[in-house]
C-alpha cells in the first residue's frame, strides 16, 4: 500500500456505527470524513469520529502501539521482545499443561465489543468448541447484557425491534437512562432533525442528572438513581387507569398480563412520584403522552443496563410498550442503544459466557447439539462460564489460572478495581492481546500480543439497529502486529496439534471464510443472514438482519406481524417489581454517585486520550456536586475532595453543577490512575472511578451496577 487511497470503514467508537471514509497516503491515515452513503449517519460525524485520523498520528503510534510480541517467563521479570513462534509455543505449552492438570475451566478469555464479528466468532469457537470451557466473556457484559436478558425474557430473542428511521416517524421519544446527546451524538442529531420536521414531537427524558439531553427535552423526569422500574410500572398503572392500553393487542399477541396488572395496581401515582422523587403531574403527563401517542419510541442505554436490577428495568419498559402496542409499527418500539461499536456482533456469535452462536441458548441441549454439529466437535459444554466480574473473582480465588484478555482494559473498566488488580496479580498467566501497550492491563501482562486496530482490520460490525457493515483495511499491519482472528486461529491450530486432534476445525485462510461459517450458523434463526455475502455488503452497502437466503433486503423493523420468537409466538409480560439500588446511601456514605460518559471521550481513553482537542470539553476528571452540597461543606469550585466508597477512594476537584440534585455526585468514567497522578494528585492511590464502583450484579444478566454507589465526599 504505497499510494494515496480511500477505504470505507465504520467509526470504532460507539454503537451508532457511523460510516467513515478513511484517507491514507499509503503509509498512514491522513484524514477521515463521514460516508454520505452510510445509512447510520449519511455523512455526519461527531467530534470523536471526525478526529479519528488524529489517533493514527505516526508519532503517537510509535509511542503507544504494541508492535512486537513480548513475554516474560518469571512473574517478577521484565517482558522482553520475542518471536511469534516462541510466544505461541509457550502459550500452547502452558494451556495444555494447565488444562491437563486442572481441567478446561481453569482457563478463561475476556474479550471485547471492539472486536469484529469474525474475531469474536473464532475466540468463541476456540473456548467452547476446542478447549471445552464456557469461560469466555466480554466487556459487553458491562454494557449490554441486561438489554440481552430483557429482550429475551419479553420478546423471545435478543433483537432490537426498531431502527434509526423510527426516530423520523415517532410522535413521542422517551429517552431513559441515556445521555444520547453525548453518548450517541449522531443519533441525537437525527432527533433534533425530527423535532424540526415535526413540531408536535414530544421528547421525554428520565435521568437522575439534568444532562444536555434532558435540558432540551419537552419533559424531564429527574428520577432518583435506580427507580426506573417504579417509573415504568407507574406509567403502566396510569395507562391502565386511563384506558390507554391496547386490550385487543394484549389478547392477540401476548401472555402474562394478568399477573403484571395485579402488580402494577400498587404503583399509584403518589407512590411512584415519591419513590422516584418527581412530581405526580409530570408522571401523569409522561404516561399520557406515551400511551396516547400514535407512535412512541424508547431509546435507552447504560442507565437501565448497568444496574443490579438492569434486566427488570429493561423488561418493565418493554412491558409498557407491549401493553400500549407501541411496538412493531413505524416510529414505535423499545430500542436499546448499543454502547460499543460491535457489541451486537458479539451477541450474534454467542460471545458471552451464557450464550451460544446465533442466539442459541446454552441451557438447551438441542441448541448445544446444533452448535457442536456446525463446529464439527463432539459437544459444547453445558455449564455456563464465568461472567466478567465472576471471572475475576474466580481468578483471584485461584480457580482460573490463565486469562487471555483481548482488546479491552479490565484494570480500568471493571468495577471494584481492588478485586480486579488482585486477580491479575494472582493469575498464573495473563495474556493481553492489544493494539496499545499503554493500557493499565498491559502492566499485568506476562505475554503481550500486538494486534491490529481501526483502519488496519478487515471484517464486519453490527450497529444498534442490526445493520452489518463490511470494511477493508486502509493500512498495512504495523510492526509485527497481527489481526485478532489470525492470532486466535494460529493459537487454536497449534493447540489442536498438542491435543492430537486429527483435523483442524479452524481451516480459515481468509476472514471471509470465517464470515461464511458464521453466516451458516444463523440459518433458520431469528437473525438469519444466510442471504448476506461479503459481495452483497460491498455492492449494496450495509444491511440489517435478518437477511435470509433469497432475500433482497434486510428487515427494518421486527414484529410488525405481532408474532414473536417465543414457543407460543406471543410476547411475554414479565412481572417486574421495583428493587432499590444494591448499595443504598446511609449516614456514613450519604451521596448517590452516578457515573457516565463525557461528550468527547471514549471508554478508558486508550484511543481518544491521544487527541489533544478532545480535552477541550473536559480537560481533567472531576466530581460534580450540587451547589447546595458545596456550600454546606464549604467546598469551593476546584477544591480537591476525597470521594470514598466502601471499596476505595479517589481525590478529585469538585465542580458545582446545576445538573445535580442535592445528595448526588457524578464522575465521568474515562480517567484511570495514570491521568489522575499525572495531574499532580499524587497519593490518591486510585484507579479512576472504578475504584469506587460496586461489583453488585443483576441476578439474570450478571451485569454489574456501575451506575450507582454510595459514597462520602470530604474536603481534602
Ligand atoms: Fe463515531 Fe458514535 Fe460519533 Fe458516530 S456517533 S461518529 S459512531 S462516536
pLDDT score of 594 more than 70: yes
Query: Which residue ranges form the domains of the chain, and what is each CATH number?
Result: 5-64 (3.30.200.210), 70-139+351-457+477-497 (3.40.50.740), 145-337 (3.40.228.10), 591-715 (2.40.40.20)
Position 60 scores a pLDDT of: 78
- Across the range 225-235, mean pLDDT stands at 98
How far is Cα 213 from Cα 40, in angstroms, rounded to an integer? 20
Position 617 scores a pLDDT of: 86
Cα(47) to ligand 1 centroid in Å equals: 8
pLDDT score of 235 more than 80: yes
Q: What is the CA radius of gyration of the chain?
A: 24
Residue 76 near residue 369 (C-beta atoms within 8 A): no
pLDDT digits (tens, 9 = 90+) for 5-31: 899 999 999 999 999 999 999 888 999
Give the ipTM.
Answer: 1.00
Ligand 1 atom, smallest distance to 46 CA: 3
Q: Report whether residue 16 contacts ligand 1, using a CB cutoff of 6 Å.
A: yes
Q: Report whether residue 665 contacts ligand 1, using a CB cutoff of 6 Å.
A: no
Cα(17) to ligand 1 centroid in Å equals: 6
pLDDT digits (tens, 9 = 90+) for 70-118: 999 998 899 999 999 999 999 999 999 999 999 999 999 999 999 999 9
Ligand 1 atom, smallest distance to 40 CA: 4
Q: Report whether residue 46 contacts ligand 1, using a CB cutoff of 6 Å.
A: yes
Q: Report whether residue 45 contacts ligand 1, using a CB cutoff of 6 Å.
A: yes
Nearest-CA neighbor of 217 among 207, 231, 232? 207
- Across the range 668-675, mean pLDDT stands at 73
How far is Cα 639 from Cα 655, in angstroms, rounded to an integer? 8
Q: Report whether residue 52 contacts ligand 1, using a CB cutoff of 6 Å.
A: no
Q: Report whether residue 13 contacts ligand 1, using a CB cutoff of 6 Å.
A: yes
Split at pLDDT 50, 70, 90, the class of 513 is very high
pLDDT digits (tens, 9 = 90+) for 322-347: 999 999 999 999 999 998 889 889 99
For ligand 1, mutation pick of 16, 43, 341, 464 (most atoms within 8 Å of CB) = 16
In 25-125 the beta strands, taken as DSSP E runs, fall at 29-34, 70-71, 80-81, 107-111
Position 1 scores a pLDDT of: 46
Position 676 scores a pLDDT of: 41
Cα(676) to ligand 1 centroid in Å equals: 26
Split at pLDDT 50, 70, 90, the class of 675 is very low
Residue 678: its H or E element? helix 673-678
Position 2 scores a pLDDT of: 55
Cα→Cα distances 268→32, 236, 277, 284, 490, Å? 52, 10, 14, 11, 60
Top-confidence residue, 703 or 611: 703
Ligand 1 atom, smallest distance to 463 CA: 7
State the number of CA atoms in the 13 A half-sphere of 82 facing the CB: 20
**Candidate from 16-25, 260-269, 556-565, 601-610 with smallest mean pLDDT:** 601-610
568-580 as b/e: b if 16+ CB within 10 A:
eebbbbbbbbbbb
pLDDT score of 597 more than 90: no
Split at pLDDT 50, 70, 90, the class of 678 is very low
Cα(341) to ligand 1 centroid in Å equals: 9
Q: Report whether residue 339 contacts ligand 1, using a CB cutoff of 6 Å.
A: no
Summary mean pLDDT of the chain:
94
Ligand 1 atom, smallest distance to 184 CA: 5
As given in the structure block, the three cell numbers for residue 325 are: 402496542
Peptide bond preceding 486: is omega within 30 degrees of 0, i.e. cis? no
Cα(187) to ligand 1 centroid in Å equals: 9
Residue 462: its H or E element? strand 459-462
pLDDT score of 677 more than 60: no
Split at pLDDT 50, 70, 90, the class of 686 is low
Cα(20) to ligand 1 centroid in Å equals: 10
Give this prediction's pTM. 0.95
Q: Report whether residue 186 contacts ligand 1, using a CB cutoff of 6 Å.
A: yes
Residue 517 near residue 349 (C-beta atoms within 8 A): no
For ligand 1, mutation pick of 8, 20, 46 (most atoms within 8 Å of CB) = 46
* Minimum CA distance residue for ligand 1 atom 4: 18
Cα(19) to ligand 1 centroid in Å equals: 9
Split at pLDDT 50, 70, 90, the class of 61 is confident
pLDDT digits (tens, 9 = 90+) for 440-498: 999 999 999 999 998 999 999 999 999 999 999 999 999 999 999 999 999 999 999 99
Cα→Cα distances 545→145, 462, 521, 541, Å? 20, 9, 14, 13
351-364 as b/e: b if 16+ CB within 10 A:
bbbbbbbbbbebee
Ligand 1 atom, smallest distance to 49 CA: 6
Share of the chain above pLDDT 90, in %: 87
Residue 621 near residue 667 (C-beta atoms within 8 A): yes
- Across the range 150-163, mean pLDDT stands at 97
How far is Cα 497 from Cα 503, in angstroms, rounded to an integer? 9
Amino acid at each position: 500500500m504505497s499510494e494515496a487511497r480511500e477505504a470505507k470503514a465504520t467509526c470504532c467508537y460507539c454503537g451508532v456505527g457511523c460510516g467513515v471514509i478513511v484517507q491514507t497516503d499509503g503509509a498512514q491515515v491522513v484524514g477521515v470524513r463521514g460516508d454520505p452513503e452510510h445509512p447510520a449517519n449519511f455523512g455526519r460525524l461527531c467530534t470523536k469520529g471526525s478526529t479519528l485520523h488524529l489517533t493514527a498520528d505516526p508519532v503517537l503510534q510509535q509511542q503507544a502501539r504494541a508492535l512486537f510480541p513480548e513475554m516474560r517467563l518469571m512473574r517478577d521479570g521484565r517482558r522482553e521482545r520475542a518471536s511469534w513462534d516462541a510466544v505461541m509455543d509457550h502459550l500452547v505449552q502452558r494451556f495444555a499443561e494447565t488444562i491437563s492438570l486442572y481441567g478446561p475451566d481453569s482457563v478463561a478469555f475476556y474479550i471485547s465489543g471492539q472486536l469484529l464479528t469474525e474475531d469474536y466468532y473464532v475466540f468463541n469457537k476456540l473456548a467452547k468448541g476446542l478447549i471445552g470451557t464456557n469461560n469466555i466473556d466480554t466487556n459487553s457484559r458491562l454494557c449490554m447484557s441486561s438489554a440481552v436478558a430483557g429482550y429475551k425474557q419479553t420478546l423471545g430473542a435478543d433483537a432490537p425491534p426498531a431502527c434509526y428511521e423510527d426516530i423520523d416517524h415517532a410522535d413521542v421519544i422517551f429517552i431513559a437512562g441515556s445521555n444520547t446527546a453525548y453518548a450517541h451524538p449522531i443519533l441525537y442529531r437525527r432527533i433534533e432533525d425530527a423535532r424540526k420536521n415535526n413540531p408536535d414531537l414530544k421528547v421525554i427524558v428520565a435521568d437522575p442528572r439534568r444532562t444536555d439531553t434532558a435540558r432540551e427535552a419537552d419533559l424531564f423526569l429527574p428520577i432518583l438513581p435506580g427507580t426506573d422500574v417504579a417509573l415504568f410500572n407507574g406509567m403502566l398503572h396510569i395507562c391502565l387507569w386511563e384506558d390507554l392500553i391496547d386490550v385487543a393487542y394484549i389478547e392477540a399477541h401476548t401472555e402474562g398480563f394478568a399477573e403484571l396488572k395485579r402488580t402494577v395496581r400498587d404503583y399509584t401515582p403518589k407512590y411512584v412520584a415519591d419513590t422516584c422523587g418527581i412530581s405526580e403531574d409530570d408522571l401523569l403527563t409522561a404516561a399520557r403522552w406515551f400511551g396516547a401517542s400514535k407512535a412512541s419510541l424508547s431509546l435507552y442505554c447504560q442507565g437501565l443496563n448497568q444496574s443490579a436490577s438492569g434486566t427488570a428495568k429493561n423488561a418493565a419498559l418493554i412491558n409498557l410498550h407491549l401493553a400500549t402496542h407501541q411496538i412493531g409499527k413505524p416510529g414505535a418500539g423499545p430500542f436499546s442503544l448499543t454502547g460499543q461499536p460491535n457489541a451486537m456482533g458479539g451477541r450474534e456469535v454467542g460471545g458471552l459466557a451464557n450464550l451460544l452462536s446465533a442466539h442459541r441458548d446454552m441451557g438447551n441441549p438441542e441448541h448445544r447439539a446444533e452448535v457442536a454439529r456446525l463446529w464439527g466437535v463432539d459437544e459444547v459444554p453445558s455449564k455456563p462460564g464465568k461472567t466478567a466480574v465472576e471471572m475475576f473473582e474466580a481468578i483471584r480465588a485461584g480457580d482460573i489460572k490463565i486469562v487471555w484478555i483481548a482488546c479491552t482494559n479490565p484494570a480500568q473498566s471493571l468495577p471494584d478495581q481492588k478485586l480486579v488488580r488482585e486477580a491479575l496479580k494472582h493469575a498464573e498467566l495473563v495474556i493481553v492481546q492489544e493494539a496499545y501497550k499503554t493500557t493499565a492491563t498491559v502492566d499485568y501482562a506476562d505475554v503481550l500480543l500486538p494486534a491490529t486496530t481501526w483502519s488496519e482490520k478487515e471484517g464486519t460490525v453490527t450497529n444498534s439497529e442490526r445493520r452489518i457493515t463490511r470494511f477493508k483495511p486502509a493500512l498495512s499491519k504495523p510492526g509485527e502486529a497481527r489481526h485478532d482472528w489470525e492470532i486466535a486461529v494460529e493459537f487454536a491450530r497449534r493447540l489442536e496439534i498438542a491435543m492430537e486432534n486429527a483435523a483442524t476445525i479452524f481451516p480459515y485462510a481468509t476472514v471471509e471464510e470465517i464470515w461464511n461459517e458464521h453466516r451458516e450458523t444463523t440459518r433458520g434463526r431469528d437473525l438469519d443472514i444466510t442471504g448476506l455475502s461479503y459481495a452483497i455488503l460491498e455492492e449494496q452497502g450495509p444491511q440489517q438482519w435478518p437477511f435470509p437466503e433469497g432475500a433482497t433486503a434486510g428487515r427494518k423493523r421486527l414484529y410488525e406481524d405481532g408474532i414473536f420468537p417465543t414457543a407460543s409466538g406471543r410476547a411475554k409480560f414479565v412481572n417486574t417489581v421495583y428493587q432499590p439500588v444494591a448499595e443504598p446511601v446511609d449516614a456514613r456514605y450519604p451521596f448517590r454517585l452516578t457515573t457516565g460518559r463525557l461528550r468527547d471521550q471514549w471508554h478508558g481513553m486508550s484511543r481518544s486520550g491521544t487527541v489533544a482537542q478532545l480535552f477541550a470539553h473536559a480537560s481533567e476528571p472531576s466530581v460534580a456536586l450540587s451547589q447546595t452540597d458545596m456550600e454546606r461543606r464549604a467546598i469551593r469550585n476546584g477544591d480537591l475532595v476525597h470521594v470514598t466508597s466502601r471499596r476505595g477512594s479517589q481525590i478529585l476537584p469538585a465542580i458545582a453543577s446545576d445538573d445535580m440534585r442535592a445528595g448526588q455526585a457524578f464522575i465521568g468514567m474515562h480517567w484511570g490512575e495514570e491521568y489522575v497522578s499525572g495531574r499532580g494528585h499524587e497519593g490518591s492511590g486510585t484507579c479512576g472511578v472504578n475504584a469506587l464502583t460496586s461489583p453488585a450484579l443483576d441476578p439474570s444478566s450478571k451485569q454489574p451496577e456501575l451506575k450507582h454507589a454510595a459514597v462520602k465526599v470530604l474536603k481534602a
